Amino acid sequence: MELLHTVDEVRQRVRQWRREEQTVALVPTMGNLHPGHLSLVEEARRQADKVVVSIFVNPTQFGPGEDFDSYPRTLNDDAAHLREAGVELLFAPAVEEIYPLGGNQTWVDVDQLGEHLCGAGRPGHFRGVATVVSKLFNIVQPDVAVFGEKDFQQLAILRRMTREMLMPIRIIAAPTDREADGLARSSRNGYLRDSERARAPLLQQHLQDARRAIEAGEQDFRALEKRLSTSLNQHGFEVDYFTVANAVTLAPAGARDRDLVIAAAARLGKPRLIDNITVQRSAGTG
């Protein structure tokens, strides 16, 4: 596996692959890799001849007071895992390589989709994500890019961006990788203390409870959200949102919506955990 740090080197390598008629998959990450990331890499492996993974802790997607400075940077370990997974190229640029003029003035902002769920409490976050991912797309120019379904809103935004900006890149969604007790794997789970780690699967369990209630005919989504948020708070979570949303627009769902995503974000000690579950309501419901 080659480890490259500059845009020019990556472009040169990809140009060579193109001459050899090889297809390219990109897996953008912020590093501190866990098995969930490696499942994205496996999916990328199935999709293209060459796999590029980027590791870049992107400053523009962190808000004031968020964990940009303390975000774990574990490049050596990450590189060892990726080498083992058979990745061809690891791109680990410095901030100046991705933001060459310092203060960035050019942004990619996906309006409405960015306003709901995590967007409401993290202003500017998705603008930072969409901007850095477009930069990575411009550098690598992959045929496909793989993102996890755990970040449902991020995936929806990047799909929309790719289509609206006419980027010739297929976005592939990989299912959320979970611990044996159901907790969605995340780099930030490492912040959980033992007692919090034991309670963390309750987030997924509450999403499942909501899904079951909807499948059993519950139509008052706002009451359901309130009930389950209250229960999570009683278990020591600080719920940011627990929302039954339209899976396409991400706006709060109404009784007539069929394709739903139940998404939640809650702080448990230091980390803010997110998770989601999709539900298709049959035409007979509601």
Interface with ligand PAF (CB under 6 A): 28-30, 58, 61, 129, 132-133, 151, 154
Q: How far is the CB of 147 from ligand PAF (least distance, A)?
A: 6
Residues 192, 193, 197, 200, CA torsion sign:
negative
| Residue number, 154 or 204, with CB nearest to ligand PAF | 154
Element (H, E) at 164: helix 152-164
Nearest of 100, 162, 138, 102 to residue 14 by alpha carbon: 138
Tokens of residue 75, six digits: 């490049």
Catalytic residue (one of 5, 37, 125, 206): 37
Q: How far is the CB of 148 from ligand PAF (least distance, A)?
A: 7
| Residue number, 56 or 221, with CB nearest to ligand PAF | 56
| Residue number, 42 or 209, with CB nearest to ligand PAF | 42
Tokens of residue 6, six digits: 């500059």
Burial of 283 (0-12, 13-18, 19+ CB in 10 A): exposed
Please list, residue by residue across 169-207, b when 16 or more beta carbons sit within 10 angstroms of its beta carbon and e when fewer do: bebbbbebbbbeebbbbbbebebbeeebbebbbbbbbbb
| Residue number, 132 or 224, with CB nearest to ligand PAF | 132
116 included as an active-site residue: no
Taking a C-beta distance cutoff of 8 angstroms, is the pair 55, 93 a contact?
no
Q: How far is the CB of 75 from ligand PAF (least distance, A)?
A: 15
Q: How far is the CB of 270 from ligand PAF (least distance, A)?
A: 18
Active site residues per annotation: 37
